[in-house]
Amino acid sequence: MAKIGIFCGTAGGTSMIVAEALAEAFSIEEDDIINMEEDFDDIEQFEDYDVLFIGSSTWGQGDVHFSWVDAQLEMEDEEMDLSGKTVAFFGAGDSVKHGEHFCSALGKLHKTFTTLGAKAVGSIDKDGYKYEFSLAEMDGKLCGLAIDNHNEEDKTEERIENWISSLKIQIPA
């Protein structure tokens, strides 16, 4: 069975809601849920897992949560090899106040992890989302689960459930 780790950078807690739902759905142990701000030590932690669930809220001009910055730079600088890893992205954003960068952190993380060899799964249809622009949009889809609890909280639970159902089909056993 594939070993799964969740790595999540969150400020308001929305991304952690998704992390907790993933943990429950995939029977992931508490020790394998890494809060990037509190529990992350080194990029070598990624090597312990076959499947990585990567979460981040989006900040500023579409930036990753601050707790991801050093890890992302180190991964790129060291040209970490993530070949053979499967990765899925999730995160939070505000499609009204920051519609010009909605959940762009997912796109930035997607670029980092796939450039280093990871296979991305979990893209979703962008139908039902309203935003101006997002780096998470690729080939007409979002590269992962985008949550907007500020403006579309009523859609959050269903979006999480649908995404997890699709991941259960895509994640290697």
What's the pLDDT band for 163 if we cut at 50, 70, 90? very high
Q: Which CATH number fits domain 4-9+16-170: 3.40.250.10, 3.40.50.360, 3.40.50.2300, 3.40.50.1950?
A: 3.40.50.360
CB burial string 12-30: b at 16+ within 10 A, e below: eebbbbbbbbbbeebebee
Summarize pLDDT for 144-162 with one digit per residue, the tens: 999 999 999 999 999 999 9
CA atoms within 13 A of residue 51's CA, in its CB half-sphere: 19
Tell me the per-residue pLDDT of 7-63, one tens digit each, with 9 for 90 and over. 999 988 899 999 999 999 999 999 999 999 999 999 999 999 999 999 999 998 899
pLDDT band at 141 (very low <50, low <70, confident <90, very high): very high
pLDDT of residue 60: 87
Confidence of residue 173 (pLDDT cuts 50, 70, 90): low
pLDDT at 12: 82
Residue 1 has pLDDT above 90, yes or no: no
* Region at 118 (left for phi over 0; alpha for psi -120 to 50; beta for the rest): beta
Residue 157: the pLDDT is 96
Model pLDDT, residue 95: 95
Angle at which helices 66-77 and 104-115 pack, to 10 degrees? 20
Q: What does pTM read for this prediction? A: 0.96
Q: What is the pLDDT of residues 84-109, one digit of tens each?
A: 999 999 999 999 999 999 999 999 99
